[in-house]
Amino acid sequence: MFSGKIAVDILSASNLPKSSKNLNLYVLIRVDSLEGCKTATVEETSNPVWKEKEVIHKENAEVIYFSIHDEKEEDIIAECTLSIRNLLVEQVGRDSVKLNQPLSPQGELEIEIHLEEDGKSSTLKRMKA
Q: How confident is the model at residue 122 (pLDDT cuts 50, 70, 90)?
A: very low
Q: According to the model, what pLDDT value does residue 126 have?
A: 47
Query: Is residue 73 pLDDT above 90, yes or no?
Result: no
User: Predicted confidence band at 20 (pLDDT cuts at 50, 70, 90)?
Assistant: low
Q: Which residue has the higher pLDDT, 70 or 21?
A: 70
Question: Is the pLDDT confidence value at 125 over 50?
Answer: no
* For the chain, percent of residues with pLDDT exceeding 70: 90
Residue 102, preceding bond cis, omega within 30 degrees? Answer: no
pLDDT recorded at residue 53: 96
> pTM of the prediction?
0.87
DSSP assignment of 56-85, as one string?
A: EEEEEE-EEEEEEEETTTTEEEEEEEEEHH
Is 128 a residue whose pLDDT tops 70? no
